[in-house]
């Protein structure tokens, strides 16, 4: 109805158990068809939980979810059984951080891709295998015919991640979720995978949500960035806006901590402290305890969300002050 591929409205995710954790707090996010969004955040910011919620991978017993998630007009939170299975794989699929753990060691990579194609598309084995071969070609694996018959342990880390991507894209999903897919890889391999994902996104025209903690990676793959902190989105905009004109103090701190332009030997302007534990639902700005600009109002209530332009927002009292200051 809205024309968005992904529509997340007022999502709250809470883990119950020995300790309650408010992992996602009132998160609203949209993604248009064919768009690549980087969810940028540190450990515990809720970026991976957001992905898992989108795929409904969280254990239902210990998770309380409310809010709305629509992917391509389908209400994701009410899916179950066959429909949920079809949704995972056909509509949405995921690439994980450790391809070595996500692939089954006892089947060849060709069989694994073919199996997924057969299950979702209902085609015969030969046809599925030729799709698998075609996919290995598209992820630029050298001598794909031979690789089809390889087991995961026979492949290097970068090759495995290519296979993982081939598997994820074999059923032509509209939405690809990538959970730190290059974090475990070496630098020279990481850039290959990033560029491959960028090319494939253009080729297949799918939407991509790319979770990462690395700003450089986000810049390479995405056209939009949403910065997460304590289960909330604190800043969102196009990659250019967020990198060149960061408005939230946390985004600014993260950019400084990347050190790409830090003067050698100069003292780093580090963000003090550590992220909050989230055992209560935030009722003020979660970043205030670490923020150099915090004032009493920040600690009294949730920060207002400034919307300087369409699809750009900053959850900070000072969002406009930055513009005046510069």
Partner 1 sequence: MSVTNPLPDGLADKGGPAQPLLIVRNLQKYFPVRGGILGGKKALVQAVDGVSFEVKKGETLGIVGESGCGKSTTARLLIGLIDKDKGEIIYDGQDLGGTLSLRDLRRGVQMVFQDSYASLNPRLTIEESIAFGARIQGLSDPVGRARRLMERVGLAPDRFAQRYPHEVSGGQRQRINIARALAMSPRLVVLDEAVSALDKSVEAQVLNLLADLRAEFGLTYIFISHDLNVVRYISDRILVMYLGEVVEIAPVDQIWSSQAHPYTRSLFSAMPSMDPDNRTMEPPLAGDPPNPINPPSGCRFHTRCRFAETVCKAKVPTLRPLSVGSEHLAACHLHDLGSGHSKAGKDVLA
Partner 2 sequence: MAAVDTDILEEPVTESGKGYWSGVGARLMRDPVTLICMAVILLLILSAIFAPYLGLADPYKGSMIARLKPIGTPGHILGTDEQGRDMLVRLIYGGRLTLFIGLTPVVLAFFIGGTLGIVAGYAGGWVNTVIMRTVDVFFAFPSVLLAIAISGALGAGIVNSLVSLTIVFIPPITRVSEAVTSGVRALDYIDAARASGANALTVIRVHVIGNVLSPIFVYATSLTSVCMILAAGLSFLGIGVRPPEPEWGLMLNTLRSAIYVNPWLSALPGMMIFVTSLCLNLLSDGVRSAMNVRD
Distance CA 41, CA 229 (A): 6
Q: Considering only residues 281-320, where is the footprint of partner 1 by CB under 8 A?
A: 290
- Residue among 86 and 257 whose Cβ is closer to partner 1: 257
Helix 109-121 crosses helix 125-138 at what angle (to 10 degrees)?
120
Q: State which residue, 61 or 124, has the beta carbon closest to partner 2.
A: 61
Asked whether position 265 contacts partner 1 by CB under 8 A, the answer is: yes
Residue 22 makes contact with partner 2 by CB under 8 A: no
Q: How far is the CB of 216 from partner 2 (least distance, A)?
A: 23
The CA distance from 235 to 37, in Å, is: 13
Q: What are the structure tokens assigned to 134, written together?
A: 């075609």
81 vs 272, beta carbon nearer partner 2: 272
Query: Rule CB under 8 A: is residue 192 a binding residue for partner 1?
Result: yes
Among 219, 293, 294, 302, binds partner 1 (CB under 8 A): 219
The two beta strands, 63-71 and 36-40, are unpaired
Give 53-56 contacts, CB < 8 A, sequence gap 24+. Answer: 53/11, 53/13, 53/24, 54/6, 54/8, 54/92, 54/175, 54/177, 54/209, 55/88, 55/92, 55/94, 55/177, 56/84, 56/87, 56/88
Interatomic CA distance for residues 211 and 217, integer angstroms: 10
Token couple for 292: 């150099």
Looking at 1, 18, 187, 263, which residue binds partner 2 (CB under 8 A)?
A: 18
Residue ranges in 235-264 that form contacts with partner 1 under rule CB under 8 A: 238-240, 243-244, 253-254, 256-262, 264
Q: Which of 195, 297, 321, 323 binds partner 1 (CB under 8 A)?
A: 195
Q: Which tokens in the block code for residue 90?
A: 């056909």
Contact segment (CB under 8 A) with partner 1 among 22-30, 78-86, 116-124, 265-273 equals 265-273
Distance of closest approach, residue 69 Cβ to partner 1, in angstroms:
27
Per the DSSP assignment, residues forming a β-bridge with 30 are 7
1 binds partner 1 (CB under 8 A): no
The answer to the question of residue 290 lying near partner 2 (CB under 8 A) is yes
Q: Should residue 34 be labelled a site residue for partner 2 when binding is judged by CB under 8 A?
A: no
Q: Is 321 in the site for partner 1 (CB under 8 A)?
A: no
Distances in Å between the alpha carbon of 85 and those of 27, 162, 197, 287? Answer: 25, 23, 24, 38
Question: Which residue stretch of 49-57, 118-126, 150-158, 313-321 sits at the interface with partner 1 (rule: CB under 8 A)?
Answer: 150-158
Q: Which stretch binds partner 2 (CB under 8 A): 207-215, 254-262, 268-276, 303-311?
A: 268-276
Taking the complex as a whole, the smallest distance from the CB of residue 292 to partner 1 amounts, in Å, to 13
194 touches which of partner 1, partner 2, none (CB within 5 to 8 A by kind)? Answer: partner 1
Q: Which among partner 1, partner 2, none contacts residue 276 (Cβ within 5 to 8 A by kind)?
A: partner 2
Q: At what angle do helices 157-169 and 109-121 cross, to 10 degrees?
A: 10
Q: Please say whether the beta carbons of 217 and 182 come within 8 A.
A: yes
Binding site for partner 2 (CB under 8 A): 18, 267, 270, 272-274, 276-277, 289-290
Query: In the complex, which residues of this chain contact partner 1 (CB under 8 A)?
Result: 42-43, 142, 156-159, 186-192, 194-195, 213-217, 219-220, 238-240, 243-244, 253-254, 256-262, 264-265, 267-272, 274-275, 290
């Amino acid at each position: 109805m809205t024309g968005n591929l992904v529509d997340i409205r007022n999502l709250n995710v809470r883990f119950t158990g020995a300790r309650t954790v408010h992992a996602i707090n009132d998160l609203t996010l949209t993604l248009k068809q064919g768009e690549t969004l980087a969810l940028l955040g540190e450990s515990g910011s809720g970026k991976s939980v957001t992905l898992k919620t989108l795929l409904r991978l969280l254990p239902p017993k210990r998770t309380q979810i409310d809010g709305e998630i629509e992917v391509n007009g389908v209400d994701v939170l009410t899916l179950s059984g066959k429909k949920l299975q079809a949704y995972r794989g056909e509509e949405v699929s995921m690439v994980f951080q450790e391809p070595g753990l996500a692939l089954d060691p006892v089947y060849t990579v060709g069989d694994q891709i073919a199996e997924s194609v057969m299950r979702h598309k209902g085609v015969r084995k030969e046809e599925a295998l030729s799709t698998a071969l075609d996919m290995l070609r598209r992820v630029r694996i050298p001598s794909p015919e031979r690789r089809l018959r390889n087991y995961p342990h026979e492949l290097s880390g970068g090759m495995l991640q290519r296979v993982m991507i081939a598997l994820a894209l074999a059923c032509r999903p509209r939405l690809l979720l990538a959970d730190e897919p290059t974090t475990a890889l070496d630098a020279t391999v990481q850039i290959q995978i990033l560029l491959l994902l960028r090319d494939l996104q253009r080729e297949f025209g799918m939407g991509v949500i790319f979770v990462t903690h690395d700003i450089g990676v986000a810049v390479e793959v995405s056209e939009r960035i949403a910065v997460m902190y304590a289960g909330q989105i604190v800043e969102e905009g196009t990659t250019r806006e967020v990198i060149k004109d960061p408005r939230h103090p946390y985004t600014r701190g993260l950019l400084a901590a990347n050190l790409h332009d830090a003067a050698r030997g100069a003292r780093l302007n580090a963000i003090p402290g550590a992220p909050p534990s989230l055992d209560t639902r935030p009722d003020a700005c979660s970043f205030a305890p670490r923020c150099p600009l915090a004032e009493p109002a920040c600690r009294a209530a949730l920060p207002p969300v400034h919307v300087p332009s369409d699809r750009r927002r900053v959850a900070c009292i000072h969002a406009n002050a930055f513009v005046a200051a510069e």
